Protein backbone atom coordinates (compact mmCIF):
# COMPACT_ATOMS: atom_id res chain seq x y z
CA UNK A 1 0.00 0.00 0.00
CA UNK A 2 1.29 3.42 -0.93
CA UNK A 3 1.44 6.01 1.83
CA UNK A 4 -0.22 9.39 1.49
CA UNK A 5 2.07 12.41 1.66
CA UNK A 6 1.59 16.17 1.72
CA UNK A 7 3.65 19.06 0.50
CA UNK A 8 2.99 22.28 2.40
CA UNK A 9 4.49 25.62 1.39
CA UNK A 10 5.22 28.55 3.68
CA UNK A 11 2.39 30.51 1.99
CA UNK A 12 -0.08 27.90 3.29
CA UNK A 13 -0.76 26.07 0.00
CA UNK A 14 -1.06 22.28 0.48
CA UNK A 15 -0.62 19.56 -2.16
CA UNK A 16 -1.61 15.95 -1.49
CA UNK A 17 0.09 13.03 -3.21
CA UNK A 18 1.82 9.72 -2.58
CA UNK A 19 5.15 9.09 -0.87
CA UNK A 20 7.95 7.15 -2.53
CA UNK A 21 11.65 6.67 -1.92
CA UNK A 22 12.22 6.77 1.87
CA UNK A 23 8.45 6.69 2.48
CA UNK A 24 8.96 5.59 6.11
CA UNK A 25 10.42 9.01 6.89
CA UNK A 26 7.94 11.31 8.59
CA UNK A 27 9.07 14.59 7.06
CA UNK A 28 11.72 16.55 5.24
CA UNK A 29 12.03 20.30 4.75
CA UNK A 30 13.91 22.83 2.69
CA UNK A 31 13.65 25.48 0.00
CA UNK A 32 11.30 24.27 -2.75
CA UNK A 33 12.74 24.93 -6.24
CA UNK A 34 12.16 23.60 -9.75
CA UNK A 35 14.33 22.44 -12.64
CA UNK A 36 13.33 22.44 -16.30
CA UNK A 37 15.67 19.56 -17.21
CA UNK A 38 13.87 16.86 -19.18
CA UNK A 39 16.41 14.16 -18.38
CA UNK A 40 19.29 13.72 -15.94
CA UNK A 41 17.31 13.29 -12.73
CA UNK A 42 20.05 11.17 -11.15
CA UNK A 43 22.66 13.87 -11.79
CA UNK A 44 20.26 16.43 -10.31
CA UNK A 45 19.66 14.36 -7.18
CA UNK A 46 23.39 13.96 -6.56
CA UNK A 47 24.45 17.55 -7.40
CA UNK A 48 25.70 19.04 -4.09
CA UNK A 49 24.51 22.49 -5.26
CA UNK A 50 20.97 21.31 -4.37
CA UNK A 51 21.83 20.88 -0.67
CA UNK A 52 19.05 22.24 1.53
CA UNK A 53 16.50 22.18 -1.30
CA UNK A 54 13.46 20.12 -2.29
CA UNK A 55 13.65 19.75 -6.07
CA UNK A 56 10.60 19.76 -8.33
CA UNK A 57 10.89 18.20 -11.79
CA UNK A 58 8.82 20.05 -14.42
CA UNK A 59 9.03 17.06 -16.78
CA UNK A 60 5.94 15.04 -15.81
CA UNK A 61 7.23 11.43 -16.08
CA UNK A 62 10.30 10.58 -13.99
CA UNK A 63 12.11 7.28 -13.46
CA UNK A 64 11.60 5.60 -16.84
CA UNK A 65 15.32 4.78 -17.26
CA UNK A 66 15.93 3.83 -13.63
CA UNK A 67 19.15 4.51 -11.77
CA UNK A 68 22.73 3.27 -12.15
CA UNK A 69 26.15 3.55 -10.56
CA UNK A 70 27.72 5.61 -13.35
CA UNK A 71 25.69 8.84 -13.36
CA UNK A 72 26.40 9.96 -9.80
CA UNK A 73 27.74 13.51 -9.38
CA UNK A 74 28.74 12.84 -5.75
CA UNK A 75 28.81 10.00 -3.27
CA UNK A 76 25.13 10.44 -2.39
CA UNK A 77 22.08 12.63 -3.06
CA UNK A 78 22.24 16.01 -1.34
CA UNK A 79 18.67 17.14 -2.06
CA UNK A 80 16.37 17.45 0.97
CA UNK A 81 13.43 16.01 -0.97
CA UNK A 82 12.07 15.27 -4.43
CA UNK A 83 8.76 16.23 -6.09
CA UNK A 84 7.37 14.77 -9.33
CA UNK A 85 4.09 14.47 -11.21
CA UNK A 86 4.24 10.78 -12.10
CA UNK A 87 6.61 7.97 -11.13
CA UNK A 88 7.49 5.42 -13.82
CA UNK A 89 6.95 2.14 -11.96
CA UNK A 90 8.68 0.17 -14.74
CA UNK A 91 12.12 1.29 -15.92
CA UNK A 92 14.23 0.22 -18.87
CA UNK A 93 17.84 1.00 -19.75
CA UNK A 94 20.81 -1.25 -20.43
CA UNK A 95 22.82 0.48 -17.66
CA UNK A 96 20.10 0.65 -15.02
CA UNK A 97 20.56 -1.38 -11.83
CA UNK A 98 17.52 -0.28 -9.80
CA UNK A 99 14.47 1.95 -9.80
CA UNK A 100 14.72 5.62 -8.88
CA UNK A 101 12.42 4.91 -5.94
CA UNK A 102 14.79 2.24 -4.61
CA UNK A 103 17.75 4.57 -5.13
CA UNK A 104 16.03 7.27 -3.06
CA UNK A 105 15.00 4.75 -0.41
CA UNK A 106 18.58 3.51 0.00
CA UNK A 107 19.75 7.10 0.41
CA UNK A 108 16.98 8.08 2.85
CA UNK A 109 15.40 10.73 0.58
CA UNK A 110 11.65 11.26 1.02
CA UNK A 111 9.85 12.02 -2.24
CA UNK A 112 6.28 12.77 -3.30
CA UNK A 113 4.47 12.03 -6.55
CA UNK A 114 0.99 12.63 -7.92
CA UNK A 115 0.75 16.38 -7.33
CA UNK A 116 0.05 19.09 -9.90
CA UNK A 117 3.61 20.19 -10.58
CA UNK A 118 2.43 22.76 -13.16
CA UNK A 119 0.46 24.55 -10.44
CA UNK A 120 3.40 24.28 -8.03
CA UNK A 121 5.87 25.74 -10.55
CA UNK A 122 3.49 28.59 -11.37
CA UNK A 123 3.34 29.45 -7.64
CA UNK A 124 7.15 29.37 -7.39
CA UNK A 125 7.55 31.55 -10.49
CA UNK A 126 4.99 34.04 -9.18
CA UNK A 127 5.99 34.20 -5.52
CA UNK A 128 9.58 33.00 -5.74
CA UNK A 129 11.26 29.97 -4.17
CA UNK A 130 9.45 29.03 -0.95
CA UNK A 131 10.27 26.99 2.10
CA UNK A 132 8.31 23.77 2.29
CA UNK A 133 7.86 20.41 3.99
CA UNK A 134 7.04 16.98 2.55
CA UNK A 135 5.36 14.93 5.26
CA UNK A 136 3.72 11.54 5.78
CA UNK A 137 2.66 12.45 9.33
CA UNK A 138 -0.87 12.31 10.62
CA UNK A 139 -0.92 15.85 11.97
CA UNK A 140 -2.76 19.03 11.07
CA UNK A 141 -1.81 21.34 8.23
CA UNK A 142 -1.51 24.19 10.71
CA UNK A 143 1.20 22.38 12.66
CA UNK A 144 3.07 21.56 9.47
CA UNK A 145 2.79 25.18 8.35
CA UNK A 146 4.23 26.35 11.67
CA UNK A 147 7.19 23.99 11.20
CA UNK A 148 7.68 25.12 7.60
CA UNK A 149 8.02 28.75 8.63
CA UNK A 150 10.79 27.81 11.08
CA UNK A 151 13.03 26.44 8.34
CA UNK A 152 16.02 28.79 7.82
CA UNK A 153 15.81 30.91 4.67
CA UNK A 154 18.56 30.34 2.09
CA UNK A 155 19.90 33.90 2.30
CA UNK A 156 22.77 33.96 4.78
CA UNK A 157 23.45 30.19 4.75
CA UNK A 158 26.93 28.82 4.12
CA UNK A 159 26.22 25.21 3.08
CA UNK A 160 29.61 24.49 1.53
CA UNK A 161 31.12 22.94 4.65
CA UNK A 162 28.48 20.19 4.58
CA UNK A 163 29.25 19.11 1.01
CA UNK A 164 33.00 19.64 0.55
CA UNK A 165 35.65 16.94 0.71
CA UNK A 166 36.88 16.41 4.31
CA UNK A 167 40.52 16.17 3.19
CA UNK A 168 42.62 16.79 0.06
CA UNK A 169 42.95 14.12 -2.61
CA UNK A 170 44.62 13.89 -6.01
CA UNK A 171 43.78 12.75 -9.54
CA UNK A 172 46.99 11.94 -11.39
CA UNK A 173 47.45 12.68 -15.10
CA UNK A 174 48.93 10.33 -17.72
CA UNK A 175 51.48 13.00 -18.68
CA UNK A 176 54.03 13.91 -16.01
CA UNK A 177 54.26 17.40 -17.54
CA UNK A 178 50.50 18.00 -17.21
CA UNK A 179 49.41 21.33 -15.70
CA UNK A 180 48.67 21.03 -11.99
CA UNK A 181 45.30 22.44 -10.94
CA UNK A 182 44.22 23.02 -7.36
CA UNK A 183 40.45 22.54 -7.28
CA UNK A 184 38.63 24.19 -4.39
CA UNK A 185 35.66 21.94 -3.65
CA UNK A 186 32.61 23.96 -2.60
CA UNK A 187 30.37 21.04 -3.63
CA UNK A 188 31.90 19.95 -6.91
CA UNK A 189 30.24 17.58 -9.38
CA UNK A 190 32.27 14.55 -10.43
CA UNK A 191 31.89 15.27 -14.13
CA UNK A 192 33.60 18.65 -13.70
CA UNK A 193 36.63 16.81 -12.32
CA UNK A 194 36.42 14.36 -15.23
CA UNK A 195 36.37 17.24 -17.74
CA UNK A 196 39.43 18.90 -16.21
CA UNK A 197 41.17 15.53 -16.14
CA UNK A 198 40.16 14.67 -19.72
CA UNK A 199 41.62 17.98 -20.89
CA UNK A 200 44.97 16.87 -19.49
CA UNK A 201 45.19 18.40 -16.00
CA UNK A 202 46.62 16.85 -12.85
CA UNK A 203 44.25 17.67 -10.00
CA UNK A 204 44.53 18.30 -6.28
CA UNK A 205 41.06 18.68 -4.79
CA UNK A 206 40.99 20.65 -1.54
CA UNK A 207 38.29 21.48 1.05
CA UNK A 208 36.26 24.69 0.89
CA UNK A 209 38.11 26.04 3.94
CA UNK A 210 41.53 25.88 2.22
CA UNK A 211 43.76 28.90 2.81
CA UNK A 212 45.87 30.80 0.30
CA UNK A 213 49.05 29.55 1.98
CA UNK A 214 47.89 25.94 1.66
CA UNK A 215 47.24 26.48 -2.05
CA UNK A 216 50.71 28.01 -2.51
CA UNK A 217 52.24 25.00 -0.76
CA UNK A 218 50.81 22.77 -3.52
CA UNK A 219 52.60 24.84 -6.18
CA UNK A 220 49.76 24.76 -8.76
CA UNK A 221 49.75 26.06 -12.33
CA UNK A 222 46.15 27.21 -11.92
CA UNK A 223 43.21 27.24 -9.49
CA UNK A 224 39.65 26.11 -10.20
CA UNK A 225 36.70 27.34 -8.09
CA UNK A 226 33.79 24.89 -8.13
CA UNK A 227 30.03 25.06 -7.95
CA UNK A 228 28.28 24.74 -4.60
CA UNK A 229 25.12 25.44 -2.57
CA UNK A 230 23.86 28.30 -0.44
CA UNK A 231 24.46 32.04 -0.28
CA UNK A 232 27.88 33.06 -1.68
CA UNK A 233 28.05 36.09 0.61
CA UNK A 234 28.01 33.74 3.61
CA UNK A 235 31.08 31.79 2.45
CA UNK A 236 33.51 34.07 4.30
CA UNK A 237 36.50 31.69 4.25
CA UNK A 238 36.11 31.23 0.50
CA UNK A 239 35.82 34.94 -0.22
CA UNK A 240 38.99 35.70 1.73
CA UNK A 241 40.98 32.93 0.02
CA UNK A 242 39.81 33.96 -3.45
CA UNK A 243 40.58 37.61 -2.66
CA UNK A 244 44.18 36.63 -1.84
CA UNK A 245 44.35 34.52 -5.00
CA UNK A 246 43.38 37.38 -7.32
CA UNK A 247 45.48 40.02 -5.57
CA UNK A 248 48.55 37.77 -5.67
CA UNK A 249 48.33 37.69 -9.51
CA UNK A 250 50.18 34.35 -9.36
CA UNK A 251 47.75 31.88 -10.92
CA UNK A 252 45.22 31.57 -13.72
CA UNK A 253 41.80 31.17 -12.06
CA UNK A 254 38.62 29.63 -13.50
CA UNK A 255 35.38 29.75 -11.50
CA UNK A 256 31.95 28.30 -12.20
CA UNK A 257 28.58 28.81 -10.50
CA UNK A 258 29.36 29.54 -6.83
CA UNK A 259 32.99 30.01 -7.89
CA UNK A 260 31.82 32.76 -10.26
CA UNK A 261 30.00 34.48 -7.42
CA UNK A 262 32.94 34.19 -5.02
CA UNK A 263 35.23 35.72 -7.64
CA UNK A 264 32.86 38.67 -8.06
CA UNK A 265 32.77 39.20 -4.28
CA UNK A 266 36.58 38.99 -4.14
CA UNK A 267 36.74 41.82 -6.72
CA UNK A 268 34.46 43.96 -4.53
CA UNK A 269 31.18 43.19 -6.30
CA UNK A 270 27.87 42.19 -4.77
CA UNK A 271 25.48 39.26 -5.21
CA UNK A 272 21.72 38.99 -4.76
CA UNK A 273 19.09 36.26 -4.58
CA UNK A 274 17.11 35.55 -7.72
CA UNK A 275 13.35 35.24 -7.40
CA UNK A 276 13.19 31.56 -8.34
CA UNK A 277 16.67 30.86 -9.65
CA UNK A 278 17.97 29.24 -12.84
CA UNK A 279 17.80 25.45 -12.86
CA UNK A 280 17.70 23.29 -15.96
CA UNK A 281 19.64 22.09 -18.99
CA UNK A 282 18.12 24.43 -21.57
CA UNK A 283 18.99 28.02 -20.60
CA UNK A 284 20.09 30.28 -23.50
CA UNK A 285 23.21 32.35 -22.84
CA UNK A 286 24.84 34.86 -25.21
CA UNK A 287 28.60 34.96 -25.54
CA UNK A 288 29.18 38.71 -25.79
CA UNK A 289 32.66 38.26 -27.26
CA UNK A 290 31.54 36.11 -30.22
CA UNK A 291 27.83 36.89 -30.48
CA UNK A 292 27.02 33.17 -30.41
CA UNK A 293 24.22 31.65 -28.33
CA UNK A 294 24.93 28.64 -26.11
CA UNK A 295 22.34 26.38 -24.54
CA UNK A 296 23.55 25.79 -21.00
CA UNK A 297 23.02 23.70 -17.88
CA UNK A 298 22.37 25.77 -14.75
CA UNK A 299 21.66 25.39 -11.06
CA UNK A 300 21.87 28.53 -8.95
CA UNK A 301 19.70 30.80 -6.85
CA UNK A 302 22.05 33.79 -6.51
CA UNK A 303 23.53 36.13 -9.10
CA UNK A 304 26.20 38.81 -9.56
CA UNK A 305 25.07 42.45 -9.51
CA UNK A 306 27.06 43.77 -12.45
CA UNK A 307 26.86 47.50 -11.67
CA UNK A 308 28.87 46.82 -8.49
CA UNK A 309 31.80 45.24 -10.35
CA UNK A 310 35.04 47.19 -11.00
CA UNK A 311 36.04 48.51 -14.44
CA UNK A 312 38.90 46.01 -14.50
CA UNK A 313 36.35 43.26 -15.21
CA UNK A 314 34.49 42.66 -18.47
CA UNK A 315 31.00 41.15 -18.79
CA UNK A 316 31.33 38.16 -21.16
CA UNK A 317 28.06 36.19 -20.95
CA UNK A 318 24.42 37.24 -20.59
CA UNK A 319 21.32 35.16 -19.78
CA UNK A 320 18.79 35.69 -22.57
CA UNK A 321 15.78 34.80 -20.39
CA UNK A 322 16.25 37.68 -17.92
CA UNK A 323 19.47 39.52 -18.92
CA UNK A 324 21.30 38.48 -15.76
CA UNK A 325 25.08 38.02 -15.50
CA UNK A 326 26.34 34.64 -16.75
CA UNK A 327 30.07 35.26 -16.80
CA UNK A 328 32.96 37.72 -16.72
CA UNK A 329 36.73 37.94 -17.09
CA UNK A 330 39.46 40.24 -15.87
CA UNK A 331 40.70 42.54 -18.62
CA UNK A 332 44.39 41.98 -17.84
CA UNK A 333 44.81 38.97 -15.53
CA UNK A 334 44.17 35.32 -16.57
CA UNK A 335 40.99 35.12 -14.51
CA UNK A 336 37.54 34.24 -15.83
CA UNK A 337 34.29 32.69 -14.65
CA UNK A 338 30.85 31.56 -15.80
CA UNK A 339 27.63 31.18 -13.84
CA UNK A 340 26.47 28.02 -15.62
CA UNK A 341 27.89 24.47 -15.56
CA UNK A 342 30.08 23.99 -18.68
CA UNK A 343 30.58 20.27 -18.07
CA UNK A 344 26.79 19.93 -18.57
CA UNK A 345 26.19 16.32 -17.60
CA UNK A 346 24.01 14.88 -19.07
CA UNK A 347 24.15 17.77 -21.58
CA UNK A 348 24.26 20.01 -23.57
CA UNK A 349 27.98 20.16 -24.35
CA UNK A 350 28.35 23.49 -26.16
CA UNK A 351 30.47 25.10 -23.43
CA UNK A 352 33.13 22.40 -23.18
CA UNK A 353 35.64 24.77 -24.84
CA UNK A 354 35.95 26.72 -21.57
CA UNK A 355 38.06 23.94 -20.07
CA UNK A 356 40.36 24.19 -23.09
CA UNK A 357 40.67 27.95 -22.56
CA UNK A 358 41.69 27.35 -18.96
CA UNK A 359 44.35 24.85 -20.07
CA UNK A 360 45.76 27.36 -22.56
CA UNK A 361 45.95 30.01 -19.84
CA UNK A 362 48.11 27.70 -17.75
State the burial class of residue 287 (Cβ atoms within 10 Å of its Cβ: 0-12, 13-18, 19+): middle
Q: What DSSP designation does 74 have?
A: S
Is residue 306 within 8 Å of 315, Cβ to Cβ? yes
**CA 99 to CA 95: how far, in whole Å?**
12
Which residues are catalytic, by number? 257, 341, 343
DSSP letter string, 130-168: EEEEEE--SS-HHHHHHHHTTSPPSTT---GGGTS-SS-
Q: 208: which residues sit within 8 A by CB, 6+ positions away?
A: 160, 161, 164, 184, 185, 186, 187, 228, 235, 237, 238
Is residue 343 within 8 Å of 192, Cβ to Cβ? yes
CA 63, chain centre distance (Å): 21
Q: 33: which residues sit within 8 A by CB, 6+ positions away?
A: 50, 53, 54, 55, 56, 124, 129, 276, 277, 279, 301
Q: What DSSP designation does 49 have?
A: G
DSSP letter string, 202-245: EEEEE-TT--HHHHHHT--SEEEE----S-GGG-HHHHHHHHHH
Amino acid sequence: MKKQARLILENGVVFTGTAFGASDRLRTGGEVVFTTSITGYQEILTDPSYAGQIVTMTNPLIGNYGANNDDLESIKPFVSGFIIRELAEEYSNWRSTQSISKFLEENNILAIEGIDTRKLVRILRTEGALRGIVSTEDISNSKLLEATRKIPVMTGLDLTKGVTTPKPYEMAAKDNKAPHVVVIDYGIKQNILHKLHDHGARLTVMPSTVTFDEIQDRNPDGVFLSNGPGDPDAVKDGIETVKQLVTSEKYPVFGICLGNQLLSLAFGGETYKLKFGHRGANHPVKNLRTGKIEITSQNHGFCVKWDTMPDSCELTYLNLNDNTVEGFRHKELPIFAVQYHPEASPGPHESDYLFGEFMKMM
